[in-house]
């Protein structure tokens, strides 16, 4: 096997004054959300039934069904194409179809659904009717293997993960924790490719992650994966052995953080904590940590069903969402502007699926549709 090669690239932002974050390398088509086709699912149904509490992942099937992982309910909810709750599966526990800490949900097959429980270090696979068809135990403490902390998969089952990190780089108060990059399939063990990347920037005084600190995003395609570090201005493309294929430059605006960005970043870091009192206390400590001088370059990385890799240029605390799409060869495809900021769970060929919180704190699941430019 050839040795894996990852690049460390200096930040090369292009300042854009007070214009916007959508400054691109070259002129690309602008795609816009069709606001007349937005599906918004609130926490409470019309009859007062609680149907969402703490969504941590979602995906949409071809028939319009939306599956949502709800960490607080330890359940997977199935909504129809009109946003009506049709089925819930799962409960607290450690048996088949039970969950201790729902952390991620995705489609690693055309008609199957994979749900990751980080505490149990287990992936449960459901069919599209909600029936458990397969359990896969991820490594926990075995020699030479580490459990994942970040997971992505393609529709053909290629899985890429970043493993449990260890502190390796320190800069005064802050330490960068690096984790190994691992590749496998939904039916095989994840195996390291001989490289690592930054998982989080750790504050050694408060002993928790730094809001807006350096981190990495990974996105899986069928025969490759994409990697982005938030202090870099490139996305790197790798084959499944980890070998660097190319880099994709992504130019954006260098911006200083605002109090709104710090608060939103603290909330994002604790979003998967179901204990509301613990979440609040960690958020309060997080907002006291000194913020970086400039905002991260990226807020997310996604691959849609057609193979386009989408780079999220907006971060928590922004009022809108800007995405830039690229072909796997690095050619720019389009920019997509969403009129509100949401936490993205999935990007499809004609939709963006995610969630947001209303001013009251009520969580909403939202599906925005868009039309590709000819």
Q: Tens of pLDDT along 174-213?
A: 999 999 999 987 656 788 898 899 999 999 898 889 999 9
Q: Tokens for 261?
A: 């960005």
Q: Is the per-residue pLDDT at 17 higher than 60? A: no
Whole-number pLDDT of residue 135: 87
Q: Which CATH architecture has domain 42-137+342-374?
A: 6 Propeller (2.120)
Tell me: pLDDT of 144 over 60: no
Across all residues in the chain, what is the average pLDDT? 86
With bands split at pLDDT 50, 70 and 90, how would you rate the model's confidence at 278? confident
SS3 readout for the chain: CCCCCCCCCCCCCCCCCCCCCCCCCCCCCEEEECHHHCEEEECECCCCCECCCCEEEEEECCCCCEEEEECCCCEEEEECCCCCEEEEECEECCCCCEECCEEEEECCCCCEEEEEECCCCEEEEEECCCCEEEEEECCCCCCCCCCEEEEEECCCCEEEEEECCEEEEEECCEEEEEEEEEEEECCCCCEEEEEEEEEEEEECCCCEECCCCCCEEEEECCCEEEEEECCCCEEEEEECCCCEEEEEECCCCCCCCCHHHHHHHHHHHCCCCCCHHHHHHHHHHHCCCCCCCCCCCCCEEEECCCCCEEEECCCECECCEEEEEECCCCCEEEEEEECCCCEEEEECCCEEEEEEECCCCCEEEEEEEECCCC
Half-sphere exposure of 275 (CA within 13 A, CB side): 6
Where residue 35 falls among pLDDT bands split at 50, 70, 90?
A: confident
Backbone angles phi, psi at 262, to 5 degrees: -65, -45
Cβ 216 vs Cβ 299: under 8 Å: no
Q: Among the listed ranges 12-21, 235-244, 255-264, which one has the minimum average pLDDT value?
A: 12-21
Average confidence (pLDDT) over 300-328: 95
pLDDT reported for residue 7 = 34
Task: Locate the domains of the chain by residue range.
Answer: 42-137+342-374
Each residue's pLDDT tens digit, 54-113: 999 999 999 999 999 999 999 999 999 999 999 999 999 999 999 999 999 999 877 789
| φ, ψ for residue 244, nearest 5 deg | -65, 125
pLDDT at 229 over 90: yes
To the question of pTM greater than 0.85 for the whole model, the response is yes
- pLDDT attached to residue 24: 44
pLDDT at 341 over 60: yes
- What is the distance between the alpha carbons of residues 150 and 162, in angstroms, rounded to a whole number? 5
Q: What per-residue confidence (pLDDT) applies to 188? A: 67
Would you state the pLDDT for residue 267? 87
Q: Which residue's entry shows tokens 């996305």?
A: 235
pLDDT at 185: 79
pLDDT mean over 246-271 = 90
Q: At what angle do helices 276-286 and 259-269 cross, to 10 degrees?
A: 140
Residue 293 confidence (pLDDT) above 60:
yes
Is the pLDDT at 304 greater than 90? The verdict is yes
Q: Please, are residues 232 and 297 in contact by the beta-carbon 8 Å criterion?
A: yes
C-alpha radius of gyration, the chain, whole number: 20
For residue 318, give both structure tokens. 């922004």
Question: Half-sphere exposure of residue 346, counting CA atoms within 13 Å on the CB side?
Answer: 30
Identify which has the larger pLDDT, 273 or 20: 273
The top-scoring range by mean pLDDT among 73-87, 141-155, 261-275 is 73-87
Paired residues of 59 in beta bridges: 67
Q: Are 155 and 107 in contact (CB under 8 A)?
A: yes
Which distant-in-sequence residues (6+ apart) come within 8 Å of 159 by Cβ? 108, 151, 152, 153, 183, 184, 185, 186, 190, 220
pLDDT in tens, 111-130: 789 999 988 889 999 988 88
Per-residue burial over 289-298, b if 16 or more Cβ lie within 10 Å, else e, is: bebbeebbbb
More reliable by pLDDT, 13 or 317: 317
């Amino acid at each position: 096997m050839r040795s894996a090669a990852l690049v460390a690239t200096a930040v090369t932002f292009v300042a854009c004054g007070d214009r916007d974050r959508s400054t691109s390398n070259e002129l690309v088509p602008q795609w816009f959300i069709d606001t007349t086709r937005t599906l918004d699912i609130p926490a409470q149904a019309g009859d007062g039934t609680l149907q969402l509490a703490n969504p941590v992942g979602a995906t949409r099937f071809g028939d319009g069904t939306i599956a949502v992982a709800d960490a607080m309910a330890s359940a997977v909810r199935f909504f129809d194409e009109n946003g009506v709750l049709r089925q819930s599966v799962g409960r607290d526990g450690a048996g088949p179809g039970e969950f201790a800490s729902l952390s991620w949900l995705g489609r690693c097959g055309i008609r199957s659904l994979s749900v990751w429980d980080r505490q149990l270090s287990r992936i449960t696979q459901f069919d599209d009717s909600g029936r458990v068809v397969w359990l896969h135990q991820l490594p926990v403490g075995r020699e030479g293997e580490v459990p994942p902390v970040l997971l992505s998969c393609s529709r053909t089952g290629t899985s890429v993960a970043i493993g449990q990190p260890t502190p390796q780089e320190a800069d005064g108060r802050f330490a960068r924790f690096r984790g190994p990059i691992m590749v496998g399939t939904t039916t095989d063990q994840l195996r390291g490719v001989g490289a690592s990347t930054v998982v989080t920037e750790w504050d050694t005084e408060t002993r928790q992650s730094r809001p807006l600190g350096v981190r990495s995003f990974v996105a899986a395609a069928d025969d490759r994966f994409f990697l982005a570090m938030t202090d870099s201005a490139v996305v790197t493309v790798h084959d499944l052995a980890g070998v660097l294929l190319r880099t994709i430059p992504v130019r954006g605006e260098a911006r200083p953080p605002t109090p709104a960005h710090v608060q939103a970043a603290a909330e994002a870091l604790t979003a998967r904590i179901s204990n509301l009192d613990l979440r609040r206390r960690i958020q309060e400590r997080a907002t006291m940590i000194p913020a970086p001088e400039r905002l991260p370059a990226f807020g997310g990385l996604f691959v849609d069903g057609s193979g386009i890799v989408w780079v999220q240029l907006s971060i928590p605390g922004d009022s809108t969402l800007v995405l830039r799409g690229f072909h796997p060869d690095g050619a720019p495809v389009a920019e997509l502007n969403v009129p509100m900021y949401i936490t993205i769970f999935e990007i499809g060929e004609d939709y963006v699926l995610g969630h947001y919180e209303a001013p009251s704190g009520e969580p909403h699941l939202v599906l925005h549709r868009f039309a590709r430019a000819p």
